[in-house]
Amino acid sequence: MTIEEQAPGRHPACRATSPTSCEAATRLYRAGVLVAEGFPVEDISVHLAEPDTVVWLDLLQPSLADMDVLIEEFGLHPLAIEDALHDHQRPKLDRYDDHAFLAAYAVSCSPGESLLRTAEVAAFLTPRALITVRKDRMLQLEPLLARWDGARELAASGVAYLAHGLVDHLVDGHSAAVEVLDDEAEDLEDLLFSDGSQGGDLQRRSFELRKALTSLRRAVLPMRDVLAVMHRPDVGLSDERMAPYLRDVDDHVQRAASDIDGLRDLLGTILDTNLTLASNRLNETIFRLTAYAAILAATTAVTGYFGQNVPFPGSQQTSGFIASTVLLIGSVVGLFVFFRRKGWL
């Protein structure tokens, strides 16, 4: 299927027929020009036999049998195949004799109960083919294809152009997630000093933000090493045309990593401040209780003294009642004014 034959609906690259059991998408570039999309996977060998061609193949949730087809077709290393199928891989770029293996994470971040979602993405980079393996549908192909189509002047770099588009798309997702988490941290700061703030809600949201930052940090920080390897001339992913673009992606990674560390420090400050405010509120409560207890103690002393069973001057007389009442009121008012000036009430 050529570009002119695209049908409405989903992107034609997402409709490739495949002898495998999983969904597949394909693209073919010849001399830096996109010439076909959505062609059958079994035609890849025919296209690679032609000179100056580069192929992109995407597999969604492939099985081991599906990956065996890649071993036969591209000669991929079994260890790389194993890493592509297993979950919870650390982002990395491993090199083998005639190809490289990339493991990375796509992230999606939005305010709510679950701040951050991650999806593992694996990619095999051969001299003339890029094979991506998606483990779920969170990473949509349409934005990635739009990114490639928006930089067609770089397509002459072949696999380096495709690899840059993939990594740049993932890193932009990381940067967008950092912005969402930064807004969440600002909301926590506002909640921290609001009059009607609930300590339990603040603690819960702080825990969710810390968890999201930890997950995002695991996805972003190793990408610095990935970009460092991609910059190496012997890897074949950083020619004279692509080197400035890779440096731009590396700058975005460094900035995202720095912002994540800053947000972690800010979150720690918010939690420490919350504990300090809680301690201050507790001290103020203790001061108030102490002041009221002192006032009650004064009244108890006066009434207890005048309530003794032994006669005292003014006992059972109007003058005695007036004196005791004045002393009672005076002690209460005096203590209240004293504690008020001290700031305990």
Q: Model confidence over 189-245: pLDDT tens digits? A: 888 877 655 567 788 888 888 899 999 999 999 999 999 999 988 888 888 889 999
Does 324 map to a domain?
yes
Contact 2, 36 (CB under 8 A): yes
User: Between helices 243-306 and 199-220, what is the axis angle to 10°?
Assistant: 160
pTM, 2 dp = 0.77
- Concatenate the DSSP letters of all residues of 268-299 into one string: HHHHHHHHHHHHHHHHHHHHHHHHHHHHHHHH
Does 49 map to a domain?
no
Does 120 map to a domain?
no
Span of 3-7, 306-310, 325-329 with lowest mean pLDDT:
3-7
Mean of pLDDT values over 22-44? 91
Mean of pLDDT values over 26-36? 93
Could you list the beta-strand ranges (E) of the chain. Answer: 23-30, 33-37, 53-60, 92-95, 100-109, 116-126, 129-134
Q: In what order do the strands lie in the sheet with 116-126?
A: 33-37, 23-30, 53-60, 129-134, 116-126, 100-109, 92-95
- Tell me: pLDDT of 23 over 70: yes
Mean of pLDDT values over 318-339? 76
Contact 1, 38 (CB under 8 A): yes
Does 330 map to a domain?
yes
pLDDT of residue 7: 35
Span of 117-131, 144-158, 230-244, 245-259 with lowest mean pLDDT:
230-244
Mean of pLDDT values over 329-340? 78
Mean of pLDDT values over 280-299? 76
pLDDT of residue 306: 63
Span of 39-53, 90-104, 145-159, 292-306 with lowest mean pLDDT:
292-306
pLDDT of residue 256: 94
Domain total of the chain: 1
Does 22 map to a domain?
no
Phi then psi for 63, rounded to 5 degrees?
A: -95, 175
**How high is the mean pLDDT of the chain?**
83
Does 308 map to a domain?
yes
| Best CA proximity match to 105, nearest among 120, 122, 125 | 120
Does 337 map to a domain?
yes
Contacts of 94 (CB under 8 A, 6+ apart): 79, 80, 83, 100, 101
pLDDT of residue 17: 54
Mean of pLDDT values over 321-344? 76
pLDDT of residue 64: 85
pLDDT of residue 161: 94
Mean of pLDDT values over 148-168? 93
What is the residue range of 309's domain?
Answer: 280-342
For 125, left (φ over 0), alpha (ψ -120 to 50), or beta?
A: beta
Mean of pLDDT values over 29-43? 91
| Best CA proximity match to 57, nearest among 162, 155, 152, 142 | 162
Mean of pLDDT values over 177-186? 91
Mean of pLDDT values over 333-339? 78
User: Between helices 159-192 and 199-220, what is the axis angle to 10°?
Assistant: 160
Q: How many CB atoms lie within 10 A of CB 233?
A: 9
Contact 95, 72 (CB under 8 A): no
3-state secondary structure of 87: coil
User: Between helices 243-306 and 159-192, what is the axis angle to 10°?
Assistant: 10
pLDDT of residue 3: 33
- Tell me: pLDDT of 73 over 70: yes
Between strands 116-126 and 129-134, the pairing is antiparallel
- Concatenate the DSSP letters of all residues of 57-83 into one string: EEEES--HHHHHHHHHHH---HHHHHH
- Tell me: pLDDT of 311 over 50: yes
- Tell me: pLDDT of 99 over 50: yes
